Structure 1
Amino acid sequence: MSLTEVTIRSLAAVLAVLVLPLLVGQTEHKVMAHMQGRVGPMYAGGFHGWAQLIADGVKFVQKEDITPAAADRPLFRWAPAVALVPYMVAVAVLPIHPGLAAAEVPASLVFVLAAAGVGVLGTLMAGWGSANKYALVGAMRSVAQLLSYELPLILTVASVAMAAGTLSLGGVVQAWSPWWLLWQLPGALVFLVAALAELQRPPFDAPVADSEVVMGPWTEYTGLRFAFFLLAEYAGIVVMSTLFAVLFLGGWRGPAADHLGWLWTLAKAALVVLLILWARMSWPRMREDQLQRLAWTSLVPLALLQVALTAVGVVVTA
């Protein structure tokens, strides 16, 4: 691969992680507004208020960047970047078309999981570095949530890797067949729930529960640093939705995949995004004890069952 091609692919990955999360954010605002019957601002940019998110971005830029006097300044200031950059790295290896990814990594499945798991360090840094009790409580909740839901997430991904016989995301798509929709269905459900918890999205948003801990680890943040945390959340939605589409929905597989494969991948990921947004508007926040109970008494056993079913299927079809 030439240096020029590497540069183009790297720029494409950066643009994707900056543009796609903004589109997800705009979609969330509009979908939530219509589902709840409160359409909100509809004038920015003209048609349907399409530029409202841009206006919000300009507002964040204009806000003062405040660092609390008692804060650990290096941790406080670097936390938003640590939360966002891992998702930028993960996007780089997600294949959206045959042979099309910003970076070709042999064990790309492991790479994406490792990169996505680093993002929680940004939340922990923000909570610890803020010198705020609400921020620290939110950070501890976030870490406990990650430890609980990382296990079922990895087990379901291991099941798919076992079925495909590879740790390459491109290889998973090549090995995928429609009957996986039934064979891997329990794992797909576990993955979706665990991904919601990893992203701290409702109903698993206890770490940033405004009615309990103000805004959790984000409490002391203002301006662009706060906006970076929001961007990291939406970037995480993009990564997890695309990963779900690749693992369980066949990625670019579909009619005219050689030419329209990228469109199939994005369309499937968009459906998963809408499902994640729908969950926010439909389910109340879970308590911490309910959240932990769901992980250890329901998701982990179901994920282990999926691994067992996959092992049996692999042996029978060998």
Structure 2
Amino acid sequence: MYLSTIIETVSAWAAQEPKIYALAIGLIGAAIISAVINIGAMAVVWLERKFLGDIQARFGPNRVGSRWGLLQLGADAIKLFTKEDSIPRGADKPVYVWAPIIASITTMLVAAAIPFGALRIDGKDYPLVVANMDISAFYVEAALSIMTIAVFMAGFSSNNKYSMLGAFRGIARMIAYEVPMGVCVIAVALMAHSLNLVEIVESQTLWYAFAQPLGFIVFTIALVTDLGRIPFDQSEAEEEIIAGYTTEYGGIRWGLLYFQEYINMLLGSILLVLLFLGGWNGPSIPVITVLSPMVWFLMKVLIVLIFLIWVRGSLVRFRIDQVTDLGWKWMLPLSLVNLAWAAFVGLYFA
């Protein structure tokens, strides 16, 4: 009751002062989103270390912060912040410096349009999203593609041939799979009759993972590849004892590029849940009715994250030619077949 009154009051104020309201919501939303995705990514790093330790029958982080190693990320951050900040001789300094910043900005642009669950108040779900855009699904795809620019900047500016090769391999992989990913998003939009991620979630009386099983499989494989996760981690080859396009980076700059991989992993898992697994849809849970959508949403995201970590701990890295062949010769045609199916079903049930 009190929450409904607060919402009505805020809505009335927004109607009277739309510009001030938009600015306030933007600043507050940016601060909250930054905190959420950074804390969430730290949790993902810890989860991967512990889960891979279990998969490989070895100890995960267990020294800093009790036997669970909960403070290990803090210790790593202190180490990276206090390392010497060096730039390779002959590097293109402005481009070298800006590459990690562009990567960080990209993740923030993506996070701004992604719903992070919802709250259920008086039987109605209120999505937690900063920018609820009509074309948020396409916006997210477009923003994710900016990451290729950061990858190229890092490899090109480092004055290292291995870094450049790693950047080229990474870009070839990302382009080969972002196309079928985009086609799968279009297929979902056809069934949902909307490009708004919130409306896509609300339209899933039947999860699109069941309505479009082929699209779900193609999107999942494309997502793993676009994230650069094993078995599609081709930034460095098996015989190269390097780190791909981040070879010449150290200290906090390397930490930013490394951390962006886990932020992208978190955002990619959320996007998969929103598009194919019903988002925050689920029955109300007694006692915590208001938080029911958040519980369902976080459970689904956690399952996807564990799946991604499980795949990394179970498979070996493919060659770059195998990855690009799979993307262009199999994933793209299959995504087009799924698009035709979605168009038929979407028009039939329109």
Identity %: 34
CA distance in 2, matches of 1:265, 1:16: 15
Q: What runs of 5+ residues in structure 1 fail to find an aligned partner?
A: none
Q: Map 1:16-35 to 2 at 5 A.
A: 16-35=36-55
Letter of the 2:330 counterpart: S
- Matching residue of 1:273: 305
Following superposition, which runs of at least 4 residues in structure 1 exceed 6 angstroms of deviation? Answer: none
- Matching residue of 1:232: 260
For 2:190, which of 162, 165, 171 is the aligned residue? 162
CA distance in 2, matches of 1:248, 1:99: 17
Q: Deviations over 1:60-97 (max 9, x none)?
A: 11211110111000111110111122111111111121
Change (3 A) 1:174 1:258: farther
CA distance in 2, matches of 1:42, 1:147: 39
Q: Does 1:12 align with 2:12?
A: no
Q: How many residues align?
A: 318
CA distance in 1, matches of 2:202, 2:152: 38
**Alignment root-mean-square deviation, CA:** 1.5
For 2:181, which of 135, 148, 153 is the aligned residue? 153
- Matching residue of 2:105: 85
Change (3 A) 1:26 1:40: closer
Contact 1:137 1:213 in 2 (8 A): no
- Structure 1 counterpart SS, 2:240: helix
For 2:330, which of 292, 298, 311 is the aligned residue? 298
Letter of the 1:267 counterpart: M
- Structure 1 counterpart SS, 2:133: coil
CA distance in 1, matches of 2:26, 2:91: 40
Q: CA deviation at 1:210?
A: 6.0
CA distance in 1, matches of 2:319, 2:114: 34
- Structure 2 counterpart SS, 1:178: coil
Q: Map 1:137-216 to 2 at 5 A.
A: 137-178=165-206, 180-209=208-237, 211-212=239-240, 214-216=242-244
Q: CA deviation at 1:213?
A: 6.2
Contact 1:42 1:48 in 2 (8 A): yes
Change (3 A) 1:295 1:213: farther
CA distance in 1, matches of 2:173, 2:241: 16
Q: CA deviation at 1:41?
A: 3.9
CA distance in 2, matches of 1:165, 1:35: 42
Change (3 A) 1:104 1:263: same
* TM-score, normalising length: structure 2: 0.87
CA distance in 1, matches of 2:96, 2:309: 29
- Structure 2 counterpart SS, 1:170: helix
Q: CA deviation at 1:7?
A: 2.6
Q: Deviations over 1:187-232 (max 9, x none)?
A: 1111111111111111111113463261111000000000001111
Change (3 A) 1:244 1:137: same
Q: Deviations over 1:21-61 (max 9, x none)?
A: 11111111110111101114412111312111211111111
CA distance in 1, matches of 2:166, 2:181: 22
- Matching residue of 2:56: 36
Q: What runs of 5+ residues in structure 2 fail to find an aligned partner?
A: 1-13, 15-20, 119-125
- Structure 1 counterpart SS, 2:239: helix
CA distance in 1, matches of 2:280, 2:207: 16
Change (3 A) 1:41 1:273: closer
Contact 1:135 1:213 in 2 (8 A): no
Letter of the 1:291 counterpart: V
* TM-score, normalising length: structure 1: 0.96
Q: CA deviation at 1:298?
A: 1.5
CA distance in 1, matches of 2:238, 2:258: 15
- Matching residue of 1:65: 85
Contact 2:132 2:196 in 1 (8 A): no
Letter of the 2:103 counterpart: A
Q: Which structure carries more helix by proportion?
A: 1
CA distance in 1, matches of 2:291, 2:214: 32
Q: Map 1:59-138 to 2 at 5 A.
A: 59-95=79-115, 96-97=117-118, 98-138=126-166
